[in-house]
Amino acid sequence: MNYLRTVSLFIFTLSIALTTSALSVDTKKTAPKKTVVKKRVRPTPPTRPFDAPGTPTFTRLDGKLGVNPPTDVDGDFLIGPDYVPAPELKVVEGVPQGKVHQFSIDSKDGTIYNPGIARDIFGKADPNNPKTLIVETHPIDFKRTITVYIPAQYKPGTAAPFIVTHDGPKVVGKPNMRLPHILDNLIAQDRVPAMIAIMIANGGGDAQGHERGREYDNMSGMFAEYIETHVLPLVEKKYKVKLTKDPDGRAAMGSSSGGSAALIMAWFRPDLYRRVLTTSGTFENQAWPFDPKYPDGAWGFHKTLIPNSEAKPLRIFLAVGDRDLLNPNVMKDGMHDWVEANNRMAKVIKAKGYHYQYIYCLNARHGIGNAKAQILPHALEWLWKDYPVGSVK
């Protein structure tokens, strides 16, 4: 009997083990596989020589630590490879400090960019049109932060000049004080007019299929109209200020796609903006969705639009790094070299007689890094050089 019980127990245990093993194997076979999304890795851009064929002829200031071009001349200048932060970035005792305010705008409350857009994965090159991507997007609601600097010298009731900056601080309660500190010092030294600064956060994401790309890269006056309709009236209402209607007293500033957005605003709406400050401007083919009127996106500025158009009353500042971006996406369309694009921009606006200054920054990557801390006060002073200090227009 004991023997039979032992055999029976062994067979029972073995059957359980085999069943468990089978279930285990079956589970492994049927378990869904996780989708692994590979992160796009951009190759390190090469250093592009400042004296390569086709580049502008630069006035050389390289090797002169902390030296910027004169603020009263136009032209092409070479600086670096080492930089020192400008003294205007610091709070200076005795200099009147402006006030900084913040508020947020909900996309659901507006008529332009309502709803916003976003994508889950980067687009694929369109096999039927190498100048664009196939991108799947979905609608989103979003909030954007508006940061407003009002100088201590502002006189209530007067119409103040102002500068709009792109990619402003995203979080209420965490303003970026670099521009306010610079303006405090420049205004106190009578180097720029007592201007209001309106720093506008983007709608989120980047490039084709995201709200930021929709706002910044598309070739139209829509974003300028959005600011005019949804942002400026709230600034005036909330803080009891008056913003000038004179386009000569209005500037737009940005880096990367924010830089191209600044020029796009002024190009399509010179009745609203006439001063443009860009660093590492994305004058590339990055518009989406494809628009046959502007098939090259912002690359079209230096390819066709500026050369084939009458000069507009714009004053344009450009800066780029010698290691700036080079073809970081899948299009391979020959229209994604930030250094070449900015070189071409400088040449075509010079040929058309624009007031411009172009700074080529050695040892600088996208956004021009440490070079920006040196040249931003200079760039702002150059941008407003012909505007009467302290005037109300």
CA angle 121, 227, 279 (to 5 degrees): 65
The pLDDT assigned to 16 comes to 39
At the second CATH level, the architecture of 59-383 is 3-Layer(aba) Sandwich (3.40)
The pLDDT assigned to 33 comes to 52
38 pLDDT band, cuts 50/70/90, is: low
pLDDT at 13 > cutoff 90: no
14 pLDDT band, cuts 50/70/90, is: very low
The pLDDT assigned to 333 comes to 85
Tens digits of residue pLDDT in 84-110: 999 999 999 999 999 999 999 999 999
Distance separating alpha carbons of residues 104 and 145, to the nearest angstrom: 4
The pLDDT assigned to 42 comes to 64
Tens digits of residue pLDDT in 203-250: 999 898 999 999 999 999 999 999 999 999 999 999 999 999 999 999
Which is more confident, 1 or 333? 333
Closest CA to 287 of 349, 335, 252: 335
Closest CA to 214 of 138, 272, 266, 275: 138
Out of 3-12, 170-179, 273-282, 368-377, pick the least confident: 3-12
Provide the 10 A C-beta neighbour count for residue 41. 7
Q: Measured between alpha carbons, how far is residue 48 from residues 13, 185, 227, 284, 341 in Å?
A: 73, 35, 36, 17, 12
Distance separating alpha carbons of residues 194 and 12, to the nearest angstrom: 90
Instruction: Report the DSSP beta bridge partners of residue 236.
Output: none
Out of 23-32, 292-301, 369-378, pick the least confident: 23-32
Distance separating alpha carbons of residues 189 and 183, to the nearest angstrom: 10
Helices 178-188 and 369-383 pack at an angle, to 10 degrees, of 40
CB 202 within 8 A of CB 166: yes
The pLDDT assigned to 25 comes to 39
Tens digits of residue pLDDT in 181-208: 999 999 999 999 999 999 999 999 989 8
Q: Measured between alpha carbons, how far is residue 58 from residues 237, 280, 305, 338, 360 in Å?
A: 46, 17, 24, 18, 8
Q: What is the 3-state secondary structure (H, E, C) of the chain?
A: CHHHHHHHHHHHHHHHHHHHHHHHHHHHHHCCCCCCCCCCCCCCCCCCCCCCCCCCCCEECCCCCCCCCCCCCCEEEEECCCCCCCHHHCCCCCCCCCEEEEEEEEHHHCCCCCCEEEECCCCEEECCEEEEEECCEEEECCEEEEEEEECCCCCCCCEECEEEEECCCCCCCCCCCHHHHHHHHHHHCCCCCCCEEEEECCCCCCCCCCHHHHHHCCCCCHHHHHHHHHHHHHHHHHHCCEECCCHHHEEEEEECHHHHHHHHHHHHCCCCCCEEEEECCCCCCCCCCCCCCCCCHHHHHHHHHCCCCCCCCCEEEEEEECCCCECCCCCCCCCCEHHHHHHHHHHHHHHCCCEEEEEEECCCCCCCHHHHHHHHHHHHHHHCCCCCCCCCC
Task: Provide CB contacts within 8 A for 307, sequence distance 6+.
Answer: 348, 351, 352
CB 340 within 8 A of CB 321: no
Distance separating alpha carbons of residues 353 and 312, to the nearest angstrom: 10
Residue range 161-178: mean pLDDT, rounded: 94
The pLDDT assigned to 40 comes to 58
pLDDT at 62 > cutoff 60: yes
Token pair in block for residue 2: 């004991």
The pLDDT assigned to 88 comes to 97
Distance separating alpha carbons of residues 73 and 271, to the nearest angstrom: 25
Tens digits of residue pLDDT in 303-343: 999 999 999 999 999 999 999 999 867 778 888 999 999 99
Backbone angles phi, psi at 267, to 5 degrees: -65, -45
CB 303 within 8 A of CB 264: no
pLDDT at 131 > cutoff 80: yes
Q: pTM of this prediction?
A: 0.87
Backbone angles phi, psi at 165, to 5 degrees: -120, 145
46 pLDDT band, cuts 50/70/90, is: very high
Indicate the average pLDDT of the chain.
90
Distance separating alpha carbons of residues 145 and 71, to the nearest angstrom: 32
Q: In this prediction, what percent of the chain has a pLDDT beyond 90?
A: 80
pLDDT at 374 > cutoff 80: yes
